[in-house]
Amino acid sequence: MENKLPESLTRQDVDILKLLQQDATLSTAAIAERINVSQSPCWRRINRLEQDGLIQGRVALLNRNALGMDVVVFATINLTSTGRQNLIEFERDIIEHPEVIECYTMTGIWDYMLKIVTRDIRHYEEFVRNTLTASPSIRELHSHMAVTEIKNTTELPLDSQLT
C-alpha cells in the first residue's frame, strides 16, 4: 500500500521538516539551498509549517550522560481508580515533575507509562518514595530500568510514513 502525503504537505515541506529535525539551527538560506528553492518561498513555507503546528518549537538536545543523568526508568503505573477526576488529578500532578520526561496513557493492563530520568539510582528511589508512591491515586508502580540505550532519536519517520 502506497503512503501519501497529507494534502496540505508538499515534498518540499517534508524535506524542510527532515532538515529541521536533524539541525534546527540551519538558516533559512541553508535550507533553501539544500532543497533547491529561493530563500523567500522557503521562509514562507517554514512560517506556514509553524503556524499549522507541524513545527512545535526548536530546541537544543542535551547529552544527559554528559550532564550526569545516567538513569533512565520506564515506570508502569495503575491508579487506584480510573474515574475521570482521578485521571485528571494524576495527569495534572505528573506534569509538574521534571524527572518525568514522557508520560503516556496505555492500553492493556497499565494505565500509564512514564519515562523518568535521574542522576542515579538513589535519586530515582527518592523520587519514587517521596513523590510517586506518596500520591494516593497510585495503586501500583513497576520500575523497568534501562540498561543499554540502543536507539534514542527525536526524529519522526517522515520518509516511511509520509512519502
Please report, as a single letter, which amino acid is at residue 43. Answer: W
**Mean pLDDT score across all residues of the chain:** 93
Residue 163's pLDDT is what?
Answer: 67
Residue 120's pLDDT is what?
Answer: 97
pLDDT band at 82; cut points 50, 70, 90: confident
Is 76 strand, coil or helix?
A: strand
Q: Average pLDDT for residues 125-143, to the nearest whole number?
A: 95
Reported as a single tens digit per residue, the pLDDT across 54-79 is: 999 999 999 999 999 999 999 999 99
Sign of the alpha-carbon torsion through 19, 63, 59, 93: positive
Determine the Cα–Cα distance for residues 125 and 122; give it in Å rounded to an integer: 5
Determine the Cα–Cα distance for residues 146 and 80; give it in Å rounded to an integer: 26
Determine the Cα–Cα distance for residues 139 and 81; give it in Å rounded to an integer: 8
Determine the Cα–Cα distance for residues 43 and 41; give it in Å rounded to an integer: 5
Reported as a single tens digit per residue, the pLDDT across 104-129 is: 999 999 999 999 999 999 999 999 99
Residue 3's pLDDT is what?
Answer: 52
> Given a cut of 60, is residue 4 above it in pLDDT?
no
pTM: 0.87
Place of cell 497499565: 110
